[in-house]
Structure 1
Amino acid sequence: MLRKVNLEAKLREMMGSMAELRGQQKQGLQAIMRREPRVLMVMKTGGGKSLMYMMPAHCSVEGVTVVVVPLRSLQEYQGRRCKQAGLNVAQWSDTKKVRTAQAVLITPESAVTKAFGRFMNEKVSMGLLESVVIDECHIILDSIYGWRFKVLELMELCEGECQLVYLTSTLPHKDMPAFWRGSGLDPTDVLMLRDNTSRANVAYRVIEYPTEDEDEAVQKLVEEKLRQYSGIGQIVVYCRSIKQCITLGGVLKCPMYFREVGSEDEKRGILQNLAKGQERVFVATHALGLGIDAAGIRGVLLVGVKAKMKDYGQERRAQ
């Protein structure tokens, strides 16, 4: 049974002999493995949220864990993380049937298709659906790309049939009433665990400049940061729009990342270069901000004021 698993030993088996549980990871894993019906975990970026589904899935002999991720780029990234941990993982494709996997990664758009509905019904009828995990669950607060409604459709599909696990690093206390309403959850039915999400090693700085000098101001700041982190570290510049991203990418002569930047293979290559530290400077829209961790990032520049404070939390990647 999952509840009898030695968590520390399993972690070392998956992640190496020096790995250890941090923060609320142990409490979260214990809750998931004892089959709490509804679990919500708020943990800081880089705090190990992915372990909340990777370890239970790794321990399950025949069952499958479904992980809903908001972007295909994040699906690719999480897929690599799972494989590195020795997990049998599949990325759902509407054109290729998934047969066996410990974890299935899927976007909200694909999660509400008839093909995936048949897959879910099959696993439920065979008693093999372990849990459905909503990664970056704060997207329920937004209506971008219709994510909120697609996630709610999926919840209706599996309501009462399996465990639901919600993971995020960005869900402040003031947003909780809206989250409960938007998710259709009753807070009295949910086990909530909140870790410390503050980052002591992150410093914020605001720079004012004339609007007409924006490109020049960004270029000078990037050059300053490259000198500050000479030979090490990367700089990511977040833009308000695709148009701005393309403009600054040309000014800085660096790779760009946004939703329509290229094919899936091309986007995968850009993300791999970011993760491997092969490029010093990137410009991107918020499409890069959801759950992508790159240890080499030392500076994050956000061009313009954002309407939602939680977006800053998603895009702060300084280590």
Structure 2
Amino acid sequence: MAILPTGYGKSLPYQLYPLVLQAMGEVTSKVIVCCPLISLMKDQVKRANAFEGITAAYIGQSQDKENILSADIIFGSPEALLSSEWKDKLNDLNITVIVIDEFHLIATWGQNDKDSKLAFRRWFGEIGELRTICPGACVLALSATCTQKAKKRVMKVVTFKADHVSIFISPDKRNIKYIVKRVTNNTEMSMTWVVDGLLELGKLFPKILIYCKSISDVAKIFDYITDEVSEELRSCVAMYHSETEDAIKETILTSISDPQDKIRIIISTNALGMGVDFKNLSNVILFGPPNSMLDVVQELGRAGRNGERAVAILMYKSHHLSQCDEEVKVLYHTLECRRISMMKPFLGDNDLEQLKLDIGDHTCCDICQQKCTCKNCALLTLEKLLTGQDFSSYQYDEELSDTSDEMSDEIIDDNKSDFEP
């Protein structure tokens, strides 16, 4: 079980494994990778096939099953891998490694929730059956974030033994500053500062990703911002969700890795997430929190992947927290350091105590800034916009600039995930 931050090369072990086997003369061994999304499979297959001597394919890529079965690495969703159509075929292969990518989804997608709602994708909860199909294979479970509670659930489902090897690096990203802001129940009014900033800075507006809990909120914010700016500036705003046209999705995905692309504001559901390269993004807004702390950390972690200073603003309306886990409610209401509150579900006691010793300045969170006595707290551009500061001397390179604050919102039409299986 490996819990490692994005960019640590979690995929390399199973990508290189076939080459090691070939060098040892074991040419019949296969790797199967259980993967949650088609977009992720496409990306991983492309990366694996880039290695000379390795072949990779995913179930659903073509109707040619023999071509898929001949690959060294076979990707598939749990629904596909556990289907009657594929179980027998996998049973006939010499599979020596089972990889479970994004294994935390076993706990978040694969089980009924506390209100007895059915699991979003129940086959994640049955993933342990792969061990029965491939009894001789070892398991590599990979994730960037997993709470202590979810980890126990996963170990039970996948039947990990007590002496399994566990590799863990904290999901805490010190370069991200966290700010909570309660806003009014009027969605449009809560975004006036974004419109003001776009009107003032134009195409120099800092690139931001705004996550919403529903497609309805995405459309509402998109319509409001584009209605308030000139036709030229409307091209700086885009929205992304499961129903967005593929061509528009590709344009947005390309813009994310280019800090100078004309698209400056992306308003999205959680459909824009796993497997996307956010390395040049320094600003994220959550317009309403996800229900679990695991998903909160996942979405906030889209910012600052390049190691530069970043800011994450957690905006919420009074009703937004009603469906959230208790630990998420604590994060939004705490009077202590938000980073400590956020990391409690992920860290053991010793790591948590060390974290408390390591932090406590204005770049940590809005609460730490309030307690800061330096009298010279630097702000990133998004914070300056939020607090209405003057921009007469603004320059494009805002990520090298400076970093604080709070926010509130309206009825959510749909709390379901907008991921695309």
TM-score by length of 2: 0.57
Q: Find the counterpart in structure 2 of residue 109 from structure 1.
A: 79
Q: Deviations over 1:60-79 (max 9, x none)?
A: 43332211111122222333
Work out whether 1:286 is the aligned partner of 2:270.
yes
Listed as ranges, the gaps of 5+ residues in structure 2 are: 109-118, 227-236, 305-421
Range with bigger deviation, 272-281 or 223-232? 223-232
Range with bigger deviation, 226-235 or 277-286? 226-235
Q: Take 1:89 and 1:268, find their aligned partners in 2: how far apart are those partners?
A: 23
Determine which of 166, 169, 179 is the counterpart of 1:195. 169
Determine which of 13, 26, 38 is the counterpart of 1:52. 13
For the 8 Å contact 2:104–2:151, the answer to whether it is kept is no
Determine which of 235, 239, 249 is the counterpart of 1:256. 239
Q: Map residues 170-249 of structure 1 onto 2, 5 A cutoff.
A: 170-181=145-156, 183-212=157-186, 214-218=187-191, 220-221=193-194, 224=197, 234-249=207-222
Alpha-carbon offset, residue 292 of structure 1:
2.7
Alpha-carbon offset, residue 311 of structure 1:
0.6
User: Letter of the aligned partner of 2:97 in structure 1?
Assistant: S
Range with bigger deviation, 230-239 or 193-202? 230-239
Q: Find the counterpart in structure 1 of residue 142 from structure 2.
A: 167
SS at match of 2:277: coil
Q: Take 2:207 and 2:275, find their aligned partners in 1: how far apart are those partners?
A: 17
Instruction: Compute the RMSD of aligned alpha carbons.
Output: 3.1
Alpha-carbon offset, residue 285 of structure 1:
1.6
Work out whether 1:71 is the aligned partner of 2:30.
no
SS at match of 1:198: coil
Q: Deviations over 1:277-319 (max 9, x none)?
A: 6543322222223343321211111111332111122112112
Listed as ranges, the gaps of 5+ residues in structure 1 are: 1-39
What is the count of residue pairs matched by the alignment?
272
Q: Take 2:258 and 2:266, find their aligned partners in 1: how far apart are those partners?
A: 13
Work out whether 1:307 is the aligned partner of 2:283.
no
**Percent identity for Structure 1 against Structure 2:** 24
Q: Take 2:101 and 2:201, find their aligned partners in 1: how far apart are those partners?
A: 34
Q: Take 1:130 and 1:232, find their aligned partners in 2: how far apart are those partners?
A: 50
Work out whether 1:81 is the aligned partner of 2:56.
no
Q: Take 2:131 and 2:209, find their aligned partners in 1: how far apart are those partners?
A: 35
Q: Take 1:68 and 1:102, find their aligned partners in 2: how far apart are those partners?
A: 14
SS at match of 1:286: coil
Q: Deviations over 1:41-87 (max 9, x none)?
A: 11112222122322224434333221111112222233333344555
SS at match of 2:178: coil
Range with bigger deviation, 297-306 or 265-274? 265-274
Alpha-carbon offset, residue 230 of structure 1:
7.2
Q: Take 1:60 and 1:247, find their aligned partners in 2: how far apart are those partners?
A: 53
For the 8 Å contact 2:96–2:136, the answer to whether it is kept is no
SS at match of 1:271: helix
For the 8 Å contact 2:103–2:154, the answer to whether it is kept is no
Report the CA distance shift for 1:218/1:72 in structure 2 as closer, same or farther (over 3 A). farther
TM-score by length of 1: 0.73
Range with bigger deviation, 89-98 or 215-224? 215-224
Work out whether 1:91 is the aligned partner of 2:40.
no
Report the CA distance shift for 1:109/1:248 in structure 2 as closer, same or farther (over 3 A). farther
Determine which of 102, 116, 120 is the counterpart of 1:144. 120
Q: Take 1:257 and 1:138, find their aligned partners in 2: how far apart are those partners?
A: 24
For the 8 Å contact 2:107–2:125, the answer to whether it is kept is no
User: Letter of the aligned partner of 1:296 in structure 2?
Assistant: N
Structure number with the higher helix fraction is: 1
Work out whether 1:134 is the aligned partner of 2:100.
yes
Report the CA distance shift for 1:113/1:234 in structure 2 as closer, same or farther (over 3 A). farther
Q: Deviations over 1:88-110 (max 9, x none)?
A: 32122173321432322222222
